[in-house]
Structures are given as C-alpha cells and as structure tokens.
Structure 1
Amino acid sequence: MNVVGPKTLRTRILLGVLIPVFLILAAGLTYESYDHRAHLIEGQHQQGDMVARLTATTVTQALWDFDIVQVEQSLQQIVALGQVASVEIIGLAGEQIAAATAPGFTPSEGDFITTHVIEYVLGDQHEELGELRLTLPVEHVTGPLMDTTVQHAAVSVLIFALLAVSVFLVLTRISQPLTKIGTAIDDIYNGRFDTAVPYQSRTDEIGMLAQTLEQMRRNEVEMADLRAHTTEASRRERKRIYRALKSTRDGVILTDETGHVVFSNANASIFFADARDGEKLNFRSWLPQDVAEQIEERVAANQDFAAEASVTHFNSGEELNLLVRGGPIRDEEGLYLGTLLLATDHSDQARQAARVKFMAEHDSLTGLPNRRLLEHTLGNWLNQGEQVSILLADLDHFKMINDTLGHPTGDALLKVVGEKFLGNCGKNALAARLGGDEFAILVKGAASEERLNSIANSLVYDLSKPLTIDGNVLHTGMSAGIATLSGSEAGSTDGIRCADLALYEAKKGGRGRVEIFHKDLETVIKRKTLLERELRGALNEGSIRPVFQVQTDLKTGQIIGFETLARWHHRHLGSISPAEFIPVAEDSGLIRELTYQIMTHAFRAAARWHDMGWTGRVAVNLSPKLFGSQVDEFVNDCLYETGCPASAVEAEITETVVLSSGQSALKEIEALQRLGVTVALDDFGMGYSSLSYLQKFPVNKIKVDAAFVSKLPDSAETRAIVVAIAELGHALGMHVTGEGAETEVHRQLLRECKVDYLQGYFDGPPMAERAATARLFPGAGLHLQMSN
C-alpha cells in the first residue's frame, strides 16, 4: 500500500517538530490530570475521615443520651455544610438510628464512603454506640479536576500554537531559499545555466550552499562549453582517424574479441587476401605456414607480434615483402576488445636495404665484394670446417699510371683487372677488391691451395702483358701472396696477415711473383710479433737512442750536416737493425712515437750545436706512414718543444712518400719548407719514376743511393748516371749528396761526378752525440755540457 505523505521539506520538518511536541503536551496533560485526581481523591479521603471524627464526637453524647432528635439535627447540620452528601448512624444491630441526606443527592459508584465507630468514653471504659457512615459525592472531585484539566489544556494549546507558528515562520525562512536553491539545482541538472543561484550574499549556511552551487554552475557552464568543443573536436578526430585508416597505404584490420573482422580498409583486401568485414580472420590463407602459426600463437595469448613475410599480391600476383605487426586492443580497465593488424608493404625498402647491403659489401667501382664481405665469407667458411686459401695481390706501377694518366684511366684499369679476377674464379671461390690496387681471392675445398696457386700464376701471366686502356698502352703487373687456413679455430685475421706477409715476400723477391706462405714466413711473423712487443717496451723505457753520421762538403771537407739514425740494443736480442724494427714500427702504429723520440733528441742536439756557433743542419728521416696526418705540424711541435730553429733541421723522405701520397704529400712538403726546414729525397735512383717526380716535388736536396756509389769504380754507366743525376739536381736548384762512400776512390769519383756532399764510413761511422760534438768542436772537450 502506498502511503501518501507530505512532499515539501517545510511540511515534513513542521510535522516532524509539531507531532512530537503535541504528543509530549498530551502526555503531560494526561499525567497532570491523573496526578491531580489522585491528589483530590486523597484529600477527599482525608476530609471524610476528619468530618467523620468530628461528627462522631458531636453526636456521641446525644446518642448516649438517646437524644435522637439532637442526633438528627447534628446530622442535618453536617449535611448543610455541603461537604457531605449523606450521613447515617447504624446501630450495633445494623439498624439505622438516624440519617440525613442532602437535597437532590443521588448515590453513584464514584462516591466516597467513610465510616467511623462511635464510642462513648467513660473513665477507662469505652462503650461502642454504633457506626457513623458518611458519603462524600464524587462531584467534589470531578468538578475541580475538570476545571484544572481545562486550564492545563488551554495552556498546552496556547503553547502548541505559539510553537507551531514559530516553527512555521522559521521553516518558511529556511524553506523559501531552499526552494529557490532547489529550483537552481534542478536547472543545473537539466542543463539550464542562464540564471545565477540566489542568496549568495547571505553569510549563513544557506549563503555558503548558494555560493558552492554558483561555483558548480559556473564549472558546469565551462564544462558544457568544453564538452561542446570536445565533442566537435572528437567527432573531427574520429573522422580524421577513420579517413587516415581508410586512406593509408598500410593494410589495416580490426577484429573483435571473437576474431571476426569489424573494420578493414581498401589495402586490407590486397594484403590479407580473403579478409572481409564480418568474417573470421584466417592468417593461413595469405601467410606462410610458419609465420601464420607464430602470429596465431601470439594473438591467442593476447600479445603483440611482428613478422616479415613474402606474399603474393591478391590482384597483380606481384611478390610483396610485408611487415606484419599488431597486438591486442584493450579498454581503460585492460579488458580485451579485439586485435589490431597492420601490414606494410616494404618491398621497395627491402630492395633498397638489399641495395644498401650490396653497396656496403661490394666495391662501387668494380662491383666485386669488398674487404668486409671477404672477411665475413672467410669466417663463415672456416666456421663450417672448410679448408680455405686466400690470395692477396696488388698491381705494379699503379700509382705511376694513376698520377701520370689520371684517375679515369686508373679506374678503367681497375675495372679490367676486376673482370680478370672474376673471370678466373669458378665454383667455391670469391674475388674481391680490398681498396686501391689491392685484390683478393678466396677458394675453399681440399685442393684450394693448388687451385688458387694456378689462378694466381694465370693472373700474373695475364697482367704481365700490355693492356690497352682508353687508347693508352699500359704496362703493369701483379704480385701475389697465398696462405691456407682450415677449421673453425683458425682466425680470418691471421689468414689475411699470413697472405699479406707472403705478398711482401713476393715483392721483396722481385715483382710479378707468387709467394706461398710457409713455415719460415711463420718464423718471420713470430719474430715480427716479438719485436713489436719489445719495441713498445723500448719506447716506454726510452732505450732507442739516436746516432749521427757526418755529412761533409766534397770541396772543403767541412761538416755541413748530420743524418740522425736510430739504434736499438736489446738486452737479450742484441743489436737490432733499423731495417728490421722500423718496418715493425710502421706496421704496428709505433712509428710516430719512435720518430718523436729520435727527432726530439736530434733537435735538442742541433739547438745546442747552433748555440755553439755551428750553422749546418741535422737530418731526420720521416716515414711515409707519417704523411697524410699533418706531418708538418708534428715537426713544428717538436721544434717548439725543443727550442730548435727550423734552419738547423733537414727532413729526409723517400720516393715512397711521393708515390703513395701524391698531391697530399706535396702540400705537406711545401708546409715543411715554409717552416724553414729543408727537404732531401733519400735513396734517389732506385725507384721507377724518380726523375719525373723531381719537377712535381721540388725538394732541396737529392741523395744518390749507396748502390750507385758502390759501383762507381767499376762501371762507367753508373758514373754517367750519377753525373746525370747531379746535373739534373743542379739544374733544378738542388744539392746532391752521395751516400755510402767508404773509400778515397769513392770520394774522388763523387767529386768528378760533380756531387756536392759526401756521407758514409769514409768520414767515420755513426757516432753518439758526445762524439759528434767533439768532432764539431775539437777544443770544447769535457767542458761541454751534454745530455745523456
């Protein structure tokens, strides 16, 4: 059953207050009535007892005297007082002796009846005469009780009325603002934000509530504006995303949690074959079996996945290289909603990557594999347990051809050589260009060394013939070294190193040869490794010392300079020739430190000698390995460190610098000359193109190789060559020094050949700084302060 109650808050509060008050007042009034009635009844009883005693006392004597008339008069008087409605005296036998009743009195159940024994006292004796019975009417109680109750009820009604009015007024004061605030809340709830919340100016709780609601209203206004903007922005964003997914070149598929397609763009049908909206996605219909199984496992586990696969274009039949990737779609609480699948056709990227990989592993000029691919292939073959032979080769006179005829001709020659290398390789072989004029061939198999030796000799023979390149007839050649490795324990670096050592031996024995690595060369490698290790220690200890070989003027006999030579005496290996440890220093990267130590010693000695008045120059040898790394700044730093003037220094270079570094070497030579350092070309006449390079590289001095000087006494042709060199040098403004002069005959013949200076054991062996100082300044003796 539905109970309809008050709907307004004011009514509810009013009833909630007044009903309890009414009940309390009613209960109080009832209690007061009952309490007052009890008091009245008790008073009636007391009054009846008192009247009964007085009446009994009054009528005792008359009753003792049997004066009935007097008794009745007394009773009438008692009744006339108005307190007693009826009075009677009952004899001892129960008979009525006398009685009096108030006029109009009608007995009722509520009347109060009081009895009292009438006794006559005579001395010590008590004589009972009868019983007095009084009746007090109930109206004596109900009348006052009713009057009192009416009064109390009137007071209660007045109080209740005043309270009701007060509460009503208070509630009206409260409910009216609340009603209006409620209306404002309803407006806010229903999205009506035009009207401000009333009563904000009040300072009580209603004012605080109104201010809070007003702030809420303003926030809602801002949120409504934001939602309107956001809704539009979201709609546009969803539209953009939808358009992007539709128009992207990638294939896009969204599935629900059951695996059925709920969205697919146009490219999805190309990449995903039979994938259609509403159908269950079947990876096996368009992916290779292994890739499909892998992706299905990841999808089943709700995990991300990515895989590459080659598939056939659904329309054109073209082979596509796809990158397939995707993963689960989850809501904010992590609940799985489905799967996103993307397929990107990176066939072009794959082809480009393959092209980049090819370029990274192949020589751009010849198209042959480069060093990187050769080393990778060599390592793979060795790891497979194969026996592998490696050939390293370089061309003879290539630097001369490249510089004299130009780089295009040199490049054309390299292409022809590359074709010849490739043409001589068959199955289980790899031809490569390592850089410059260096080529290599790998051959694997049980007879790899014999096969590679045959290929090498064929190439040497083929390249020994003249080649016509761009209308130029070129004479070149090839030297080669072969090494054989087998098993996974062999290192590719060791194999290349052994082949390189064999190539070095082939060149040292004469160009156009093939050298196979053998045990003796292995001994050389061990010796070289030992020297490298010991050389590092010697440089750290500073145990490699400079010596000075005199250079004299053939006309005056005066000392015009010294050549600084390095000497190394090992505590266990004994004296080690510079011809042995300098190549080790060059190959191991120690040549710069070695040159620094020798050069700073020499520069300090030259500075001291110049301070003592000597005006010659001290020559130091600069390795070809130093060029290309700003050797001029290196020399200048040493000059600055030692305080040596550049006018006291000469730099000796070999034609190898000219042949290997070309124009870059010219710039560094010119930079040295600008510092004030003179430059001498050492070992002149032993190379292949010395005369042609004298014009390109205008050095200050040329030094005729000792091989020519030693043959002067026995060979008129040699004398003619030395004369020609001297005249050519003088014509170009250069001084000429003859090296290796050991006898007076050598000195005389060098003078006849118009050579300017002499250097060799004729003037004495190389000497330490102290001895050289004594040679320069014979009188200085022990008074000179020399450095160790």
Structure 2
Amino acid sequence: MSVELIAPSEDLRLRAVADYGLSPDVMQGDLEPLNRLANALFGVPTSMVSIVAQYHTFFASRIGIAVCEVDRNISFCHTTITQDEPLIILDASLDPNFRDNPLVNGPAHVRFYAGAPLIGPSGATIGSFCLLDTRPRAAFTPADVANLKLLATLALDKMELRRLARAHQAGENRFRQMSATSPAGIICADREGIIRFWNQGAEAMLGYSAAEAEGRSIDLIVPDRLRGGHGGGLKHVAAGGKPKLVGQSVELWARHKDGSELPIELALSMWQDNGVVSFGAIIRDLSSRRANEERLDRLAHRDHLTNLPNRLVLCQRLEAMVLARSEAALLVLDLDGFKQVNDTLGHSAGDRLLQDVAKRLLSVTGPLETVARLGGDEFAIILPDCRADRGADLVAERLIQALSVPFTVDGLAFNLSASIGIANFPMHGNEADELLSAADLALYAAKAEGRQRYHRYSPSLRQAALQQHALESELRHAYERGEFRLFYQPQVDGAGRLMGAEALLRWEHPERGLQSPAAFLPFLEKSPLAIQVGQWVLQTACAQASVWRGNAPSFRMGVNLFGLQLHNGDLVHEVQKVLYKFRLPAKNLELEVTENIILQQSDRALRMLQMLHDEGVSIAFDDFGTGYASLSLLKRYPLSRLKIDQSFVRNLGTSREDAAIVRSIVHMAKAFGLGVIAEGVETEEQQERLLAKGCDELQGYLLGRPMPAESFAVQYGLSLSGQREIAA
C-alpha cells in the first residue's frame, strides 16, 4: 500500500505539527482520561490521539495498543487527515481501500476504525482522535460521529496549551504571532503585572477589548474575593524568586467584565527579551469543556433511556466490592411479558414503560444500593453489606411485588412480572464476572420455574450450564455426522383409516443409543443449530411423504417447526423449494407450531404462516390449551386444525375438568372451521370418548407408536421404494 500524493500544503501542515513539539506518549497523562472515556463511550478496546508526521504516525496518547507508532504508509489516519469529517470504516476487510492493508490482514486484525481529524487553529490537520476494534460494526450513528468529533475538540483544547507554551519559549514575537490564530485567551504582562498584550480570544472570553485591558493591572480579571498578591508574585519571580505557577497548568476562577465568574485553565510562562522579564498567560474557558466532558461521561456511564448506571458502571462497582472483600448480593432482574408491550404499542411505548420500571426499582431500593440497566428489559441491583441470608430474598420479594402492580401506557393497562436471579459475594464468586454469571444462571432457573419468582444461585446451576454447553457441541457433531433420525407416528380417523403421520426427531447416539426427545430437544430448540436441523427434518419428511403418496395420494405429513425457523429463517422459500423438489402438493404437508412458539414470534412470522396457508399448507396448533394463548390467536393466526394435548386426554375418563376442556376445544375448533386431532390416545375408552366429543382424528400408542420409515411402510402397506435414497 503506497502513500498517496501529498497535497501542496503538506509543508505547512508539518510545520503546524512541529509547533506542538509532540512525540510518542508525550501527552499520555493529559489525554489518557479522554481515551478512557472514548473506550467506555463506544465500547472499543483501543483509542488513541494520533499525529501524522512526515514518514510515520505516532500516538501522543493511547490505550489498548502496544506499539507507539506505525509507518505512515499503512496508517488509517493518513487518510483521515485528507478530509474535514470523520472517517468511518465499519468493516475494513470489506473496504476496497483497506482490505489489503497489513493492519487489517496481519496480526493487528483491525476491522473497525473511526477517526475524527484534529484540525488546529491554523486550519492544518495534524492527526486524528481515533478508535480501533478487531470486530466489525453494523453501524456508527450520527450521534456517535458527533461525540467522536467532540472528543477530538477536547483533545485539541489540551494540545493547544502545549502549542502556545512552546511559543512562549521561542520569545514574545513568536508568541504574539501564534496568538492571532488561537481560540484561547492570550495575555502578556510585565513584571509589575501590567497587561501589555490582549488578543481577540481574551476579548471574546472576558468581555474587555484590548484597548480597555492593555495598560491595566492583571487584577482586572481576578475576582474580588481572590485578589491580592498577583502583582507581587510576578515581581517575586522576576527578581529571581522560585515560580509557583510558571510552567504549570492550573484551574482558577476569572472575572468577566460584567462581574460574573467563570472557571478557566491557565498556563503561565516567563521569558526575557533584552533583559526585560515578561509573562504570558494562556487561558481556556472551562465552562463548555466541563459541560461537554460531563455529557460524554454521562453517556459513557449512564443508560440513556432510564438514566440509571449502565453495565460498565455496574461492573466497576462489582470490582470495587471484590477489592473491598465485603459481603454483598447481586440481583439480576428480567421482565416477563415486556415483548407484548413492544408488539402491541411499539418501541416508544416500551421505552416509557422501562422508565416507569426504573422508577419502581429505585423506590424499592435504598440510596446505598446500585440499580443499573444492563440492556433491553434486564436490570441489576447490588446490595452492599448483604450477607448470604434472607436479606436479598426480602428485597427480591419486594421488587417482584412492586412490578406486579399494573402499568399504564397510552391509557392501556399492562400486567408485567419479574424473574430474579440472586448471587452472593464471596460465596458464589470471587470475581465480578463470575458473580454476574452466577446471577444470570439463577435468573434462567427462575424463568424455567414459571417466572414471577426469584432463584438463588447454587453450584448445580453452573454444572447444568456446562452440561448444556457440552450437549450443544455434541448436537453439532450429531448433525454433521448424520446421527439424527426421523420416526413416524400414524394419525387415523374415527374409522381407523390412515390419514397421515407426524415426523418425530430422534438422535441415535453412537455410544448411548437412541435418545428420547426429552434428552435433547429442549437444548436444540434454543440453539442456532435448530434452523439447520429443522431444514433437514422438513426435507427428509417431505421426501418420505412423496414416496408414500404413491399408495395414499391424500397422505398428510406433519412436521414440527422450531421457533428459530420462524424468527430467523426464510421459511416460505424453504418450504416452497422442498415441495417443488419432491413434487409434493402443499395440501400433503402440515406444519405444527406450539403455543409458546407463536407467543414469541413477530408479525413477520405471522405473515410467513399466512403465505404458506394461502398456498395450501396446513397449519396445526400443537399442545393447545397448555400455555397462555388467548382465543384471539385462533382468529389472528391462519390455522387449519387444533391438536389436543395428551395431558387433557390422559385423565379424560376420571377428570370432569379435562373432559370439559376437551369438549370446549372441539366446540371452538368447529366454530372456527378448524379440524381437531387428539394426541396421547392410549386406551379404547379414551378413543371412544374423544370420537363421541367430535374429534376428527386420533394419534397415540393405541393406534401406533413412533417407528422408523421401513416399519411404518410395512405396517400400513406403503411403498418401500425410495427408502434407501431418502436414508442416504
């Protein structure tokens, strides 16, 4: 990668760089706080103030990078200084201008870069304030760009003091020349403290014109309450005394012409021309800088929506707690039912609800307890000096109770609940990350137990998580090695005629043998692998249905969907492709979705199901009545039939309640024009009662167990042709 043609103003730019007298890390102490602020604000590991010299780019301050300079040829900042606006590269490996750069394809592995040019008072660009990450970004918003430019401005403020201080050392003439282009206030005074020079920056900042200020005492800008000794101090230094402020930058209060006071940063220098001692002061107004720094600090450490501390602050306080070795508790809280608010009223209403949640959390906790928002609808609370007893449990109970009171958003009432995980320090973790992980595991356990409850961490939870991780790895290998199998369970009508089958996934483990669905399906459903396995199931089942249609043209194959297929996959295209490939009519395929899957999906999922239904694919509502679905789902979703869950069939002959539920489901289905099939039929009595109540079809051990395709074909006299090809 070669250096671009250098603009004609390059000599002027290099002279501007030289004016600052910079070298690697020379301003690390002054600029490091801004680098740390940038790292926190943008979530990047690396930030630096880079200076582009003639042959190399070096870093006046840096965080997260080991080297202090790089060849200008490969420097991203070499491009940044050629433009007025920040350079943003979301993924350098895809950018034609940078993908061959050694910083991108070499050990540094840079993917994301954002740099704001550092444009000095003379108009020359000396370098950039830049961010680096080894991970690409999806976006860098206009607000992010504005904050990066503000950081660059703050860095230039601090660097300007250094530039003018060096001009002092070069003599009064050089100092006066450079002051003309400086936004800082520049004042020169003699040994008596009489102002001899006053630039436009000082006039704009302090209100006095040069004509009004020059010839008057420096006390002119000193507040009345702080006057005394300034002129004497200058005389003391001029006479050879030890300077107190010369060569230093200090923060003071200054007096404006209108009598108001403002905070300033002052750098004082001294020089002699022809034996005459003079003093120069560089003054910066700290009002706007402090406001900008405070705003950026707030953005970096506060959640923008709720104004609660963010995850960064939570982790910092957890680390401080660990260092203090004091007992404490960490609660991680997640809202149950929040998605419904977003889906019903939109994200702006959801944001207002989160603000109300934050207020309730603060009303329950005390001033010494930290309430932070981790992101989304997840919050965390640190309870200091909390022993591993009932203290945290009582707070969790109060939090759950406070959040169970209905919320009102846009005139509508919403009932939410909360699940909470609790971990104690040091019992459940000796490090901040370990403690946060323990609380997260406890939260997952609380949700698994039914929500609106809290759960305390125990080592068994981590062991279970490790087992789940190991199982997910095994499932990946199972898919890659072809260890999954499909079994088929018959579905018959009231006369015992075969109407179709449900394809059921099994895992033939090479060591543990055939695994039941309960041993792996709950883990597979949550894994990204679910999309790939779901596509394999769809393809294999449709291929089999196509073969069996040779003997039974109306044979219907039922295929269960994973939630991720509706959320992340392109289900419509996938189904269309499979049906076309195996020449299977849409009416011969039935997709089964559970109540919980539907409740977790979006309008996009609804549209996909509607498109498939319109093409003739049957949509079955599985496990109906076991969850929280409302009757409105029967109207909203494009359903073809309901499947009565086996939990209602099991006690049909002994439970009046179950009998009433089955009767109600059948009546509702008929009213909506839907078919009905009952699962889990194991006795003739159940069969008779279900048929008497109006069930169209039955499925269960009484009628046939799940079996491999070969056994199914033999039992029902279906074609065996194509079995070898399908298995392959």
TM-score range, shorter chain: 0.5 to 0.7
Verify: 1:424 aligned to 2:337, yes or no.
no
1:742 to 682, 688, 701: 682
Aligned pairs for 1:331-730 within 5 A: 348=288, 351-352=291-292, 354-355=294-295, 358-359=298-299, 362-371=302-311, 373-375=313-315, 377-378=317-318, 381-382=321-322, 389-400=329-340, 411-445=351-385, 447=387, 450-466=390-406, 474-486=414-426, 494-552=434-492, 554-633=493-572, 635-636=574-575, 639=578, 642-643=581-582, 645=584, 647=586, 648-730=588-670
* CA distance in structure 2 between the aligned counterparts of 1:614 and 1:596, rounded to whole angstroms: 24
* CA distance in structure 1 between the aligned counterparts of 2:606 and 2:464, rounded to whole angstroms: 35
Verify: 1:262 aligned to 2:172, yes or no.
no
CA gap 1:465/1:536 in 2 versus in 1, 3 angstroms = same
After TM superposition, give the deviation of residue 783 of structure 1 in Å: 9.4
1:165-215 Cα distance to aligned partner (Å, 9 max, x none): xxxxxxxxxxxxxxxxxxxxxxxxxxxxxxxxxxxxxxxxxxxxxxxxxxx
After TM superposition, give the deviation of residue 491 of structure 1 in Å: 6.0
SS in 1 for 2:185: helix
CA gap 1:693/1:268 in 2 versus in 1, 3 angstroms = same
- Identical aligned pairs, as a percentage? 31
CA gap 1:269/1:569 in 2 versus in 1, 3 angstroms = same
Q: More helix by proportion, 1 or 2?
A: 1
CA gap 1:555/1:613 in 2 versus in 1, 3 angstroms = closer
After TM superposition, give the deviation of residue 611 of structure 1 in Å: 4.7
Letter in 2 for 1:423: S
| Uncovered stretches (5+) of structure 1, i.e. residues with no partner | 1-239, 243-247, 287-306, 327-339
* CA distance in structure 2 between the aligned counterparts of 1:752 and 1:644, rounded to whole angstroms: 37
Higher mean C-alpha deviation, range 308-317 or range 706-715? 308-317
CA gap 1:603/1:450 in 2 versus in 1, 3 angstroms = same
* CA distance in structure 1 between the aligned counterparts of 2:330 and 2:426, rounded to whole angstroms: 11
After TM superposition, give the deviation of residue 645 of structure 1 in Å: 2.8
Asked if the contact 1:619–1:651 (Cα under 8 Å) also holds between the matched residues in 2, the reply is yes
Asked if the contact 1:729–1:735 (Cα under 8 Å) also holds between the matched residues in 2, the reply is yes
Letter in 1 for 2:545: A
Letter in 2 for 1:424: V
Higher mean C-alpha deviation, range 733-742 or range 613-622? 613-622
* CA distance in structure 1 between the aligned counterparts of 2:447 and 2:437, rounded to whole angstroms: 15
After TM superposition, give the deviation of residue 537 of structure 1 in Å: 1.8
- Which structure has the higher relative contact order (CA within 8 Å, separation 6+)? 2
Asked if the contact 2:561–2:593 (Cα under 8 Å) also holds between the matched residues in 1, the reply is yes
1:87-117 Cα distance to aligned partner (Å, 9 max, x none): xxxxxxxxxxxxxxxxxxxxxxxxxxxxxxx
Number of the residue aligned with 1:59: none
Letter in 1 for 2:523: V
1:519-573 Cα distance to aligned partner (Å, 9 max, x none): 3323322321221222222122121222122222x32322222222221243445
Number of the residue aligned with 1:772: 712
After TM superposition, give the deviation of residue 437 of structure 1 in Å: 3.9
SS in 2 for 1:761: coil
CA gap 1:785/1:268 in 2 versus in 1, 3 angstroms = closer
CA gap 1:499/1:782 in 2 versus in 1, 3 angstroms = same
CA gap 1:395/1:268 in 2 versus in 1, 3 angstroms = closer
CA gap 1:439/1:772 in 2 versus in 1, 3 angstroms = farther
1:718-737 Cα distance to aligned partner (Å, 9 max, x none): 22222222222222222222
1:729-788 Cα distance to aligned partner (Å, 9 max, x none): 222222222122111122112112212222222222211121222234357599987625
TM-score with structure 1 setting the length? 0.56
SS in 1 for 2:631: helix
* CA distance in structure 2 between the aligned counterparts of 1:614 and 1:494, rounded to whole angstroms: 59
Asked if the contact 2:400–2:452 (Cα under 8 Å) also holds between the matched residues in 1, the reply is yes
Give me the CA root mean square deviation: 4.5
* CA distance in structure 2 between the aligned counterparts of 1:615 and 1:567, rounded to whole angstroms: 26
Asked if the contact 1:603–1:644 (Cα under 8 Å) also holds between the matched residues in 2, the reply is no
Number of the residue aligned with 2:152: none
SS in 1 for 2:371: strand
Asked if the contact 2:547–2:719 (Cα under 8 Å) also holds between the matched residues in 1, the reply is no
1:637-683 Cα distance to aligned partner (Å, 9 max, x none): 76168535351322211222332224232122223324543222211
SS in 1 for 2:380: strand
SS in 2 for 1:627: helix
Higher mean C-alpha deviation, range 601-610 or range 678-687? 601-610
Asked if the contact 2:333–2:443 (Cα under 8 Å) also holds between the matched residues in 1, the reply is yes
After TM superposition, give the deviation of residue 629 of structure 1 in Å: 2.0
SS in 1 for 2:540: helix
CA gap 1:308/1:555 in 2 versus in 1, 3 angstroms = farther
* CA distance in structure 2 between the aligned counterparts of 1:605 and 1:667, rounded to whole angstroms: 28
Asked if the contact 2:531–2:569 (Cα under 8 Å) also holds between the matched residues in 1, the reply is no
CA gap 1:535/1:778 in 2 versus in 1, 3 angstroms = closer
Aligned pairs for 1:47-66 within 5 A: none
SS in 1 for 2:494: coil
* CA distance in structure 2 between the aligned counterparts of 1:438 and 1:490, rounded to whole angstroms: 23
After TM superposition, give the deviation of residue 702 of structure 1 in Å: 1.8
SS in 2 for 1:653: strand
SS in 2 for 1:515: strand
SS in 1 for 2:365: coil
* CA distance in structure 2 between the aligned counterparts of 1:269 and 1:687, rounded to whole angstroms: 71
* CA distance in structure 2 between the aligned counterparts of 1:309 and 1:672, rounded to whole angstroms: 72
Letter in 2 for 1:581: F
After TM superposition, give the deviation of residue 685 of structure 1 in Å: 0.5
After TM superposition, give the deviation of residue 516 of structure 1 in Å: 0.5
SS in 2 for 1:711: coil
Asked if the contact 1:741–1:761 (Cα under 8 Å) also holds between the matched residues in 2, the reply is yes
* CA distance in structure 2 between the aligned counterparts of 1:429 and 1:272, rounded to whole angstroms: 52
After TM superposition, give the deviation of residue 387 of structure 1 in Å: 5.5
* CA distance in structure 1 between the aligned counterparts of 2:307 and 2:687, rounded to whole angstroms: 56
* CA distance in structure 1 between the aligned counterparts of 2:440 and 2:705, rounded to whole angstroms: 36
Aligned pairs for 1:311-322 within 5 A: 312=253, 315=256
1:384-437 Cα distance to aligned partner (Å, 9 max, x none): 766653323333444456656776765554333221212233355322334554
* CA distance in structure 1 between the aligned counterparts of 2:585 and 2:425, rounded to whole angstroms: 52
Asked if the contact 2:254–2:264 (Cα under 8 Å) also holds between the matched residues in 1, the reply is no
SS in 1 for 2:176: strand
CA gap 1:365/1:323 in 2 versus in 1, 3 angstroms = farther
* CA distance in structure 1 between the aligned counterparts of 2:553 and 2:669, rounded to whole angstroms: 26
Higher mean C-alpha deviation, range 751-760 or range 444-453? 444-453
Letter in 2 for 1:629: N
* CA distance in structure 1 between the aligned counterparts of 2:330 and 2:172, rounded to whole angstroms: 57
